[in-house]
Structure 1
């Protein structure tokens, strides 16, 4: 990876946190640097917007687009998408920080390899679609899928980056700034012609990328971006087998489906396209997957990719399409200025009228006519005999496909065909009924005609298609687990909800098949097996029972029997006997869930108050003092009634911080 050490930002500390180490790449909107995050002590990629883009009347639009990249990408979480960590403003410098991916990108791989083996191309395409499907599920389109934005780390993992052109789908209507955003070689027809796009536009771009990985060139090329744009709108992407005849029909069908000019004919999003890729790959033999096309020889053609229109981003401004000379516009097949939403069909300039061919003079000599007549008769006679031989005994003769080729092992069917000197080819196909290795069908079918020097295609069973249960399902959310299973082409049945006091609601507790058999991560299951997720519904619902007035022990037991967590507090009460429940919260009949807390207040009985000391007081004064303090008074005359009526004893005694329950009885002895 080339770095530039003379960049003035190298060595600078951005926003007091990111120490710029070196420059990684420079694009039309921003420059990307390798930096150290001093706060978290990790390497990051810092993307800094070019200062001049923030100037002038259009500067706000560029700043908004740059910041939109951070917001769009930060919403996405997927191992195949480059993570965005932070966004900020350092003075006049807008920046964002992203995950640093050490490795290369798909453009460098294609420049080095030229073409990729079919199996590797399909694997890369599947990884890209899997990552892009996460964006589409979040309602985002990328709008700039190209080899430069497909990173491949040192472990071979694929990561999509640069959602700088992405915008929420419900915001995407048309290009209002007069600029088409995206790299022209990969733009979808609708984005070029109308400025509108959705998830299917990304699917088209990946279809072009698949074509390029297989054949080493994009399907539409030209010496100027306008020529490439015109071809996207008016010409179908050719089948790859036109350039490499060995490419199977399944791949032709796949590429043509992804790059259909009408968006309605494409898969609705990356997830649907991923299913097509997996289905196409499943039907290919290992020999086909290992083959690769010969890289195209240099022919002087200019492919309009990155950097052909406006800077290294490869963007195609409308102005660059309209500001063409009349000669250039006519050479590109345009008779009207090109604007967003308008591509004019090509017109053909009339050339000079063709010269009439000279009519040869008649040969009038009769002898020559006789000679030619005899020659023609001889040729016809010989031809008739040759034709008879060709269609009866020669290569043009036909035979019939033997009837006993299906249901037998592949080797036996091949031997039967060799015995009657018929060639054969083999196509693998999953089959739920025919054992692996046996012939499912033949093309042509049994009893149908086939040339004696022809081939019979043997469709050989690969057995029941088995799928692998993904890992890390238990403990994930239902949404994450369902997405992982569907991504593996596994049918997901209705989830089974189970209440659990410990597992949060929505978390997967177990994975099983329809018969209730547990499925471990990595287990192989038939393709038609429906997987059942046992999902926690959280603690079970309960109704809070009535415990007010109950003894403390009985109340706690009743609440805990319902799975509720009891919180006990105590307070004095003049009305509720000690040890009984004064109140509860929530009250009787309230809807709750197991493990919910319920607070009960236990009575400590009446409050303790200080007992007045009435010793030596007149009985009336003593009674009043005690009653004012909240006590009942019992007067006794152990020594008989005396006219003095003086208190000489008290139980319990008063004074010295002596206390007794409010409302209790104080006995005073009087003489």
Structure 2
């Protein structure tokens, strides 16, 4: 990890950590020359000697810098700092596509096509440069604040004309988006990327991936063996022509998919054309045959079984009918007549039924310890619900988002199977997580007549409450104010209060209010006072060392002022005392443990470890916990060959404590609390 404020390459000042991965850490930095924010991807220190990782990191830099496209992350600089490679890229201030889908699913079809057009345009350029991405998935696709797509992470992208393509590279992508040929260990091609694009399009349309499983192998097998689940079954608003784009892109055989990303884009863009409204479902060409019956080698119908041999005996019955009178019963009819003549077959059937029931009861009693009731985790956080389910013996399956006006955003609405249902231990349980209520944009209805204003709000799903007040300047029946400002997002079903003019009051004095002193009132009490006196309350918040959090610091106009009803009253509410941060430097020494001083009676495993330490020194890892760092992440990772002094800065708020942990050759040699 790099400290905040560190000047990388004498140009890029580290501002924050954006993410930590298995290969590299990504930081938000400021280019002090161009004065703009950038993203810096820096190879982890513990991987500097891993040749394969170094090759992958360099390949990402080369592959991405060779591709200039508005929908591909731009590489601005590639260099090293104290021997540590880093790559500077444009900074995208927005979510990845996975998070965007979770937050906004279901997406409008036109929005889906707009997003996919940008992705296909970028991938098309990469393919024209003979570069395949190999790991296309929503997590590697970013979206800026204007909704523009940016494809990132070409870390396993490989030029098609490279001679050193390894089998390791071919299986590094995410299994939920990986083509069948890649899961079998085959080489990735442009059609492999197109398969991944088809899965991404499926997820954009449905909000979930087509295949889920308890293990990566289970998911991979489904991609290789099972048909893509129907989109239109659960989403009938999706036209067949649009579903066909998914079906063609995700055909099991590469030759049945689109020849290029451009071809897929053209088909996608025309999928909503009225001329394609009655298009039949896509069937891969290799599955279309001339209806000939295929005889499996070595297959023989069992003639002793009248049920299984029914089809096989059809030709025999036909042959018999050719030489027998037409009223002669067939072989099947003779078998049924025989059963009817023998009364004992009813007894035989009853005995078999009893045996089956007994066997099932025995099996259930034997396996009763392998079953459990799905616990009720409704209204829990995803983390707490997952822990509860795993404690009960289940695994976590798909996690899907759904709007809910009753369950708070981020908490569990329900599970599938439902709470209380019996299921075998080890079974995956899906979580349905609330993405909060459906939100609508608040219209502007001020200065409108009340009835049209009411209809306008109800049309977008809002409820209306009317409050009549006098006004000297606004005609009767006109909306003076609305309780939620226009253009703000508000939950569907929210009650909006409209203050409506009653016209001018006969006695102006009765329309006046003398403001009382609201300082040290709670915000709710101030709101109640404003409502009672027909005042519009505006709330601002600020820190205060003298006023308790949640209480009013000041008001405008001030106490004692005479104002008309319907006027605006602004109050400032305390956020409490502002906590200041302080940097505390912890100085300490890590002593060098010379393996040559160890006794000769050390175990073989210790000797092996000592041998490693002798060549590079003691392996030291430092972890810190403060306002900016987690104790779970490595802060410094290095080797020492002598006693080494360290000065580690920790940023702590008032009353906050931090921690420093030092691990030397796998053993904790320091674990101290640091107080502010």
| Class of the TM-score when normalised by the shorter of the 2 chains | 0.3 to 0.5
**Highest Rg: 1 or 2?**
1
TM-score (norm 2): 0.40
